[in-house]
Amino acid sequence: PPDGRVPPLISAAQERAKLEPTRPVASLGSGGRGTDSWLDRSLWERCLTQGASRLASGAYNANFQIVQSADSVVILHEQIHEARIIPMDGRPHLPSNVRQWLGDSRGHWEGNTLVVDTTNFSDKTNFRGSTDGLHMVERISRVDADTLNYEVTFEDPSTWTRPWTVQMPMPKTQGTMYEYACHEGNYGLTGILAG
């Protein structure tokens, strides 16, 4: 945004934000603080998904690999071992009643820029307070042999006062992607539920 800030939440989203810590089943990285069941914990804490737009994440195990076939692009994330399969054949989005944690992505090329349009998020895929009405458009282009430019625009009229865009360079990394065994040796969840 021109002022460099994420736009304010609309009043309904502000009220949802106040309730978030009290909800037993919540979003990816926030809320979900109940202790009666593993279902009371967030999807990320349960090692199911990190969810929406994290292609340019700076956390550990943040590597990703992009692979293109004749009719699809796959973005493989090292952390939580997710693969986003993005059809490039012009098919329409899924019906609006079909909701997915990572949304429903469709891609196309605009010159040398990969454009990925994603809708149909689940109500459990809460990105910074968003609802299942989140609409995300990513643009990935090559700046030079070792750099991609990543740009993503978020729109959810039920959450923010206006759409907003983030842009950042992504340098090429060297090395191998490794298995991310999220629950291997993770006694934290067992301890939380036992307490």
Q: What digits encode the pLDDT tens for the residues 18-76? A: 876 665 444 444 445 566 777 767 777 777 777 766 665 566 777 888 999 999 999 98
Quickly state the pLDDT bin for 147 (edges 50, 70, 90).
very high
CA distances from 156 to 3, 99, 163, 167 (A): 19, 15, 7, 18
Alpha-carbon span 130 to 9, nearest angstrom: 9
User: What does the pLDDT average to over 163-170?
Assistant: 92
Structure confidence at residue 26 (pLDDT): 44
CA nearest to 174, candidates 144, 146, 139, 143: 146
CA nearest to 180, candidates 37, 57, 73, 26: 57
Alpha-carbon span 126 to 129, nearest angstrom: 5
Q: Tell me the pLDDT of the chain averaged across its residues.
A: 83
Structure confidence at residue 1 (pLDDT): 73
Task: Annotate 143-162 with b (16+ C-beta within 10 A) or e (fewer).
Answer: eeeeebbbbbebbbeebbee
Structure confidence at residue 177 (pLDDT): 84
User: What does the pLDDT average to over 8-12?
Assistant: 94
Top pLDDT among 56 and 176 is at 176
pTM to 2 decimal places: 0.85
Q: What percent of the chain has pLDDT over 90?
A: 46
Instruction: Kindly calculate the radius of gyration of the chain based on its CA atoms and give it in whole angstroms.
Output: 18
Alpha-carbon span 172 to 146, nearest angstrom: 5
Q: What SS3 state is found at 38? A: helix
Residue 154 has pLDDT above 90, yes or no: yes
Structure confidence at residue 74 (pLDDT): 94
User: What does the pLDDT average to over 105-125?
Assistant: 93
**Least confident span in 1-5, 23-27, 104-108, 173-177:** 23-27
Residue 87 has pLDDT above 50, yes or no: yes
User: What does the pLDDT average to over 119-125?
Assistant: 86
Structure confidence at residue 178 (pLDDT): 82
Structure confidence at residue 57 (pLDDT): 57
